[in-house]
């Protein structure tokens, strides 16, 4: 007897996966065995990323929180995504960029254990990031690199954090070349690919501390938070105003998550330019909303802020999972299922994008509306 099609709630695919043989690819494992709970959310996120988010007309912003680059995920996952054109702009903690630089300038980090005696580690000059170990001298050498770099003539002015990181990436890339290595530093890869990297809290890292120290000596480098806000909003505005779409991919939470998402409230609420919100939202987090720890809101809550287009809510996925587990799987799935995209090189177009956003602000946005009311 043929099984009748079930209506409504029972119309979903029947759960009847094949047995795991050990011969499956990661793509096959995700598609066939990740069927429920947060495994299903990860599968849905992989489908969203490798499908709608990577369409040619979608601009993708990525936020990075948590100690991902020290774990090697810059080299294994983030750089391949950038080089494939799967990430168009980035908001990161300064710490991730600082630890990323260790690799680019030839310093080493090692696998360790979270069960180590931290007093003994301190006595032996070893620093621990959970189960990652490195020599204290790694910090001193990286500080010395940035301290000297910031003294250069190119840095003696005010600039956005994207421009600062672009210049840093140029010199990290030069150090990679001198050492005969490649694809070690996300900063260097973003420099080569024209991917702007922003830091929403530039003083909250060792890079920021070196900038502050140099300022005591009269160094003229100033990181312009206003430029960061306007540049990121301009990137999103340009994507939507030209008939394209905007996607955000969030790893973790914190300030970078809010910064990548606040582009839409800034456009709509503050600049008063008509907009609906980001079209696609993919988040990986281990925080919960009910404790106040899931900063930047769930997709549904983000709709109330104007961060997410309410009509696009079905195209939003939040996977409650450790980013160190989810990121390699999502990167693998996207790289296996989708051909590389043409790089947008948004860094090269920053001034043009801000000029267009400024024009919208004065012709249809808040400045125009305020003038009309006078």
Residue-wise pLDDT tens digits, 191-207:
999 999 999 999 999 99
Chain segment 100-128, per-residue pLDDT in tens: 999 999 999 999 999 999 999 999 999 99
> How many CA within 13 A on the CB side of residue 174?
8
What does the block give as tokens for 51?
């499908």
Domains and CATH numbers, the chain: 38-106+161-201+222-363 (3.40.910.10)
Locus of tokens 């810059």: 74
What does the block give as tokens for 60?
């993708």
| pLDDT over 80 (residue 61) | yes
Please tell me which residue, 286 or 291, carries the higher pLDDT value.
286
Chain segment 159-177, per-residue pLDDT in tens: 999 999 999 999 999 999 9
Residues forming a β-bridge with 64: 92, 251
Contact 173, 193 (CB under 8 A): no
Residue 147, class by beta-carbon neighbours within 10 Å (0-12 exposed, 13-18 middle, 19+ buried)? middle
Nearest to 160 by CA among 111, 102, 250, 89: 89
307 as an active site residue: the answer is: yes
Pairing status of strand 110-111 against strand 316-320: unpaired
Residue 289, pLDDT score:
84
Q: What share of the chain has pLDDT > 70, as a percent?
A: 97
* Position 1 confidence tier, pLDDT thresholds 50, 70, 90: very low
Contact 319, 284 (CB under 8 A): yes
Residue 6, pLDDT score:
65
Locus of tokens 């940035």: 146
Residue 3, pLDDT score:
55
| pLDDT over 80 (residue 374) | no
Catalytic, out of 307, 312, 337, 342: 307
pLDDT, averaged across the chain:
95
Rg (CA), the chain: 22
Residue 5, pLDDT score:
61
Nearest to 247 by CA among 325, 301, 178, 299: 299
């Amino acid at each position: 007897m043929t099984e009748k099609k079930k209506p409504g709630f029972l119309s979903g695919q029947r759960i009847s996966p094949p047995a795991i043989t050990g011969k499956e690819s990661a793509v096959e494992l995700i598609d066939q065995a990740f069927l429920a709970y947060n495994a299903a959310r990860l599968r849905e996120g992989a489908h969203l990323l490798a499908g709608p988010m990577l369409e040619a007309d979608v601009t993708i912003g990525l936020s990075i929180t948590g100690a991902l680059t020290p774990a090697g995920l810059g080299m294994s996952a983030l750089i391949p995504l950038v080089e494939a054109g799967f990430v168009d702009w980035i908001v990161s903690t300064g710490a991730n960029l600082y630890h990323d630089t260790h690799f680019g300038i030839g310093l080493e980090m090692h696998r360790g254990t979270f069960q180590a005696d931290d007093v003994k580690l301190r006595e032996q000059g070893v620093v621990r990031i959970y189960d990652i170990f490195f020599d204290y001298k790694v910090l001193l050498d990286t500080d010395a690199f940035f301290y000297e770099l910031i003294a250069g003539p190119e840095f003696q002015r005010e600039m956005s954090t994207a421009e600062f990181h672009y210049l840093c990436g140029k010199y990290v890339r030069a150090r990679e070349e001198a050492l005969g290595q490649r694809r070690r530093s996300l900063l260097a890869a973003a420099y080569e690919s024209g991917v702007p990297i922003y830091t929403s809290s530039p003083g909250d890292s060792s890079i920021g501390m070196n900038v502050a120290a140099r300022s005591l000596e009269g160094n003229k480098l100033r990181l312009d938070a206003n430029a960061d806000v306007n540049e990121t909003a301009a990137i999103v505005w340009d994507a939507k105003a030209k008939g394209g779409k905007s996607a955000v991919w969030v790893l973790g939470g914190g300030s970078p998550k809010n910064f990548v998402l606040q582009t839409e409230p800034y456009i709509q609420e503050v600049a008063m330019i008509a907009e609906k919100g980001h079209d696609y939202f993919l988040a990986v987090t281990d925080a919960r909303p009910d404790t106040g720890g899931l900063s930047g809101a769930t997709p549904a809550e983000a709709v109330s802020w104007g961060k997410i287009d309410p009509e696009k809510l079905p195209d939003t996925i939040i996977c409650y999972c450790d980013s160190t587990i989810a990121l390699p799987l999502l990167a693998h799935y996207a790289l296996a299922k989708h051909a590389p995209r043409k790089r947008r090189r948004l860094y090269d177009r920053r001034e043009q994008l801000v000029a267009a956003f400024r024009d919208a602000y004065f012709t249809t946005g808040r400045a125009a509306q305020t003038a009309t009311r006078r």
